[in-house]
């Protein structure tokens, strides 16, 4: 049951508790007549006249993937391998720094700006430093998780160039790796008091045919605090089928038969269909359907390998490291399938 605990712990850690003390009016924030932060007031400026990006920011989910056709074969092969392993070597799932991974631009950040350096603090307790003292990008910095970053102002836009990433970090949660030629350009623009736009471009001639990236808008989370969300259970604890088999219970065939069907939902911003069938007395889940146009998670990267489901209880199953929970009514067939992944539960409604 470790997997399920892991998923639950992770969810608990990433949902800020609605505690009284988090309700904290910030000083020096422009306010509307009703006392709320005026997020459309003009962006503040530092004593040196540059825009000041200091604040606690939150961005929604980032969906960013290069086109598989733009990946060099070795990167595509690695991405396939990562997918077959259910992305368990994703740094974030291993409780390691996520570095430049696109999806980790989402969520909570605290930015501190000084004339010589800017620090971006993540809620997973990692951070990065952007040098603003006029230095150039290093030709060969020691490879690291968070890279080597230098920033400069182009008008009111902060332009950050980075390199020096180790080979363990991914650029996308979909298992996309990089070569040591990876270079990232970020353009930050605080358009008004409450909004920070970021445009990220990943260029790596050793891995991608052309640069790719994404744009996102971070919103100022005024009048509150950022909470820690520290990873404590790495994917090394995802148990194998044999572990699960030791804890297996027996579910009568007529109960298993109620779970057979087709379930549809969204994983990583894309529609995904699960087909659950019975093979002998063994429940089997398979991801089915035509590949979706473009992007990883499709176009040959979707894993059609059937996953045998080992019962943990009458409704909860484990399949190659993922949890599968069937939602049932009083009687009759299951109404939904919930796939429990370390990144959270994903709900798939039954369609037939």
Q: Which is nearer to another protein, 21 or 252 (CB)?
A: 21
Q: Is 49 near another protein (CB under 8 A)?
A: no
Residue 349 interacts with another protein (CB under 8 A): yes or no = no
Residue 18 interacting with another protein (CB under 8 A):
no
Choosing from 1, 15, 116, 292, the residue that interacts with another protein (CB under 8 A) is: 116
Q: Which two tokens stand for residue 148?
A: 């080597």
- Contact residue for another protein among 68, 71, 102, 126 (CB under 8 A): 126
CB atoms within 10 A of CB 330: 4
Per CB under 8 A, the list member of 33, 35, 134, 246 interacting with another protein is 134
Binding residue for another protein, selected from 34, 35, 49, 139, defined by CB under 8 A: 139
Question: Measured from the CB atom, is 34 or 140 closer to another protein?
Answer: 140
Question: Residue 15 interacts with another protein (CB under 8 A)?
Answer: no
237 vs 234: CA distance, rounded Å: 6
Tell me: does residue 88 bind another protein (CB under 8 A). Answer: no
Give yes or no for residue 133 binding another protein (CB under 8 A): yes
Of the residues 135, 210, 215, 347, which one makes contact with another protein according to CB under 8 A: 135
End-to-end CA distance of the chain: 29
Residue 146 contacts another protein per CB under 8 A? yes
Report the residue number, 99 or 261, with the smaller CB distance to another protein: 99
- b/e per residue 146-164 (b: at least 16 CB within 10 A): bbbbbbeeeeeebbbbbbb
- DSSP track, 303-338: ----EEEEESSSSEEEETTEEEEEEE-SSSSEEEEE
What is the spatial distance between Cα 258 and Cα 261, in angstroms, rounded to a whole number?
A: 8
Is 217 a residue that touches another protein (CB under 8 A)?
no
**Interaction of residue 43 with another protein, rule CB under 8 A:** no
- Beta carbon of residue 209, minimum distance to another protein (angstroms, whole number): 30
Cβ–Cβ under 8 Å, residues 143 and 165: yes
Select the residue interacting with another protein from 8, 9, 11, 117 (CB under 8 A): 117
Q: Using the rule CB under 8 A, is 125 a contact of another protein?
A: yes
**Strand, helix or coil at 80?**
helix
Q: Compare residues 41 and 299 and give the one whose CB is closer to another protein.
A: 41
Element (H, E) at 14: helix 2-14
Residue indicated by tokens 């998923």: 7
The C-alpha atoms of residue 227 and residue 21 are separated, in whole angstroms, by: 11
Residue 36 binds another protein, judged by CB under 8 A:
no
Convert 174-204 to b/e letters by CB count within 10 Å (16 or more is b): bbbbbeeebbbebbbbbeebbbbebebebbb
**227 is an interface residue for another protein by CB under 8 A:** yes
Strand partners, 337: 326, 348
Question: Greatest CA span in the chain, whole angstroms?
Answer: 73
Among 2, 83, 88, 145, binds another protein (CB under 8 A): 145
Find the part of the chain contacting another protein (CB under 8 A) among 64-72, 210-218, 229-237, 261-269: 229-237
| Window of 12-20, 34-42, 244-252, 340-348 that interacts with another protein by CB under 8 A | 12-20
Does the protein bind another protein through residue 113 (CB under 8 A)?
Answer: yes
Specify the residue for token string 């399920």: 4
CA-wise closest residue to 218 among 104, 96, 119, 114: 104
Residues that bind another protein (CB under 8 A): 17, 19-21, 24, 26-27, 47, 54, 95-97, 110, 112-114, 116-117, 119, 121, 125-127, 129, 133-135, 138-142, 144-146, 227-228, 230, 232, 234, 236
């Amino acid at each position: 049951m470790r997997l399920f605990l892991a998923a639950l712990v992770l969810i608990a850690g990433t949902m800020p508790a609605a505690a009284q003390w988090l309700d904290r009016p910030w000083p020096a924030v422009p306010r509307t007549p009703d006392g709320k932060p005026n997020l459309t007031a003009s962006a503040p400026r530092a004593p040196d006249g540059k825009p000041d990006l200091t604040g606690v920011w939150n961005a929604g989910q980032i969906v960013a993937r290069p086109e598989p056709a733009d990946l060099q074969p070795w990167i595509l092969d690695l991405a396939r391998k990562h997918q077959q392993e259910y992305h368990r070597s994703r740094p974030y799932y291993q409780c390691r720094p996520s570095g430049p991974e696109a999806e980790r631009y989402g969520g909570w950040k605290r930015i501190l700006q000084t004339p010589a350096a800017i620090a971006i603090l993540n809620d997973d307790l990692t951070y990065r430093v952007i040098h603003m003292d006029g230095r150039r990008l290093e030709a060969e910095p020691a490879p690291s998780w968070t890279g080597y970053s230098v920033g400069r102002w182009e008008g009111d836009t902060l332009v950050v160039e980075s390199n020096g990433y180790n080979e363990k970090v991914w650029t996308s949660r979909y298992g996309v790796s990089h070569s040591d030629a990876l270079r990232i350009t970020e353009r930050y623009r605080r358009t008004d008091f409450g909004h920070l736009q970021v445009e990220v471009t990943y260029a790596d001639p050793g891995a991608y045919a052309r640069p790719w990236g994404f744009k996102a808008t971070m919103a100022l989370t005024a009048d509150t605090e950022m909470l820690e969300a520290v990873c404590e259970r790495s994917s090394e604890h995802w148990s194998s089928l044999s572990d699960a088999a030791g804890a297996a219970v027996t579910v009568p065939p007529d109960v298993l038969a109620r779970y057979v069907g087709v379930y549809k939902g969204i994983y990583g911003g894309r529609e995904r269909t699960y087909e659950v069938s019975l093979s002998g007395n063994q429940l089997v889940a398979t991801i089915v359907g035509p590949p979706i146009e473009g992007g990883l998670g499709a176009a040959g990267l979707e894993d059609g390998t059937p996953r045998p489901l080992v019962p943990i209880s009458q409704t909860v199953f484990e399949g190659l490291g993922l949890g599968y929970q069937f939602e049932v009514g009083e009687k009759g067939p299951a109404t939904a399938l919930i796939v429990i992944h370390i990144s959270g539960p994903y709900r798939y409604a039954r369609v037939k």
